[in-house]
Amino acid sequence: MLPPAKQAEVLPIQAPRPRGSVISVEDLSVAEIGEVLALAARLEAEDPLRRMNRLLKRKVALLFYESSTRTRTSFELAAKALGADTALISSQSSSIEKGESLKDTGITLKSLGAECIILRHLSSGAPYLLERATGLPVLNGGDGTHEHPSQALLDLRTMLAHLRGGLTEVHEKTLEGVTVTIVGDILHSRVARSNALLLPRLGAKVVLCGPPALLPEIATQIGPGLAIERDFEKALAASQVVMMLRIQAERLAGVHLDLEDYKSRYQANAPRMAAFAPEALLMHPGPIIRGLELTSEVADGPQSTIAEQVRHGVPIRMALLARALGADGEVAAPPVAKAAKKSPAANPRRRA
């Protein structure tokens, strides 16, 4: 007789959260942010064969309910660079289409051996449900209008590379004297929220800029120390970093926006940048809409860090994965490297 089917274990609400989950930037203390940055630098410089031993044959699931190019690809490349086996599940080609719930999909992935799940979901807070349903570390790849913590961490790494010589030992004053203006569709932006929660903890002044339809006054309640400036040119003149955001047409339901008026007030174009912020870093999390929030000339110009931000995504995501799976310490040299170091006398086949 078959044993009774084992009930899926769903963690009680009060259960401790799995170590290594990062759903919000607030899951990391300032010291832990420094550890992630330092680990990213170490992993980036590590011998690729040694690095592959860190997560060799461990199983990482990428669960994507929304489109993504940067986050999905860089998490996948990061997992593979650490030696993990990856499985990509997207809502268009899985049982999600047949109505399977997030909870049941999570439990299924765990039954298949997944040890960590990267989730992108259209609903804010979905990663908490998945974490509770599976007990696995969950890395938030962007949930609704809530957060996108790995994006904020790679944005931070980009800023530190330009403004602080690539420093990784961060503290509460590391970005003192730096004003970061986040411009555009703040209301719908998980990237804005994660950066607005992260950067002031390191001493940066964060200014939010945009029209009331996309930036209601209540946005200053996202976190402490935030200010609103409606005049883009005034904000530019005070900024060392300008972070442009995409107008999220897919989330604009009910919001009236005159795009021509928006461009005339808030577009980052070459004359505006030259006149008001010729030295500032021009950032954008992507995807960019050329000709709307910024012009091609600015996107491809010398102040733009857009491609560089994408490049920082892989080491940051390697660090988050290694941390989530407890592979952030020292690792043994790979067998291949050890064999190569042996003297010819120790290897009879080579002598022959």
- Mapping DSSP to helix (H, G, I), strand (E, B) and coil, where does residue 160 land? helix
Stretch near ligand CP under the rule CB under 6 A, chosen from 106-114, 202-210, 214-222, 279-287: 279-287
Compare residues 285 and 334 and give the one whose CB is closer to ligand CP. Answer: 285
Quick one: tokens of 266? 């808030």
CB 191 within 8 A of CB 140: no
**Closest separation between CB of residue 150 and ligand CP, Å?**
9
Compare residues 151 and 240 and give the one whose CB is closer to ligand CP. Answer: 151
Residues touching ligand CP, count (CB under 6 A): 11
For residues 142 and 123, what is the distance between their CA atoms, to the nearest angstrom? 9
- Mapping DSSP to helix (H, G, I), strand (E, B) and coil, where does residue 187 land? helix
Return the ∠ at Cα 159 (arms to 154 and 164), rounded to 5°: 125
**Closest separation between CB of residue 176 and ligand CP, Å?**
27
Q: How many CA atoms lie within 13 A of 4 on its CB side?
A: 3
Quick one: tokens of 195? 């950066």
**Edge-first strand listing for the sheet containing 138-143:** 85-90, 59-64, 116-121, 138-143
**Closest separation between CB of residue 141 and ligand CP, Å?**
7
Stretch near ligand CP under the rule CB under 6 A, chosen from 174-182, 262-270, 281-289, 329-337: 281-289
Nearest to 61 by CA among 104, 94, 110: 110
Residues 44-83 that bind ligand CP (CB under 6 A): 68-72
Binding mask 87-126 for ligand CP (x = CB under 6 A): ----------------------------------------
Residues 146-165 that bind ligand CP (CB under 6 A): 148, 151
Stretch near ligand CP under the rule CB under 6 A, chosen from 122-130, 181-189, 233-241, 283-291: 283-291
Compare residues 137 and 286 and give the one whose CB is closer to ligand CP. Answer: 286
Of 223, 285, 315, 334, the residue at the interface with ligand CP (CB under 6 A) is: 285
Block residue for tokens 């080609």: 93
**Closest separation between CB of residue 33 and ligand CP, Å?**
19
Residue 142 binds to ligand CP (criterion: CB under 6 A):
yes
Nearest to 264 by CA among 285, 286, 287, 293: 293
CB 48 within 8 A of CB 330: no
Nearest to 167 by CA among 322, 45, 38, 279: 38
Of 113, 216, 278, 287, the residue at the interface with ligand CP (CB under 6 A) is: 287
Instruction: Summarize as ranges the residues that interact with ligand CP (CB under 6 A).
Output: 68-72, 142, 148, 151, 285-287
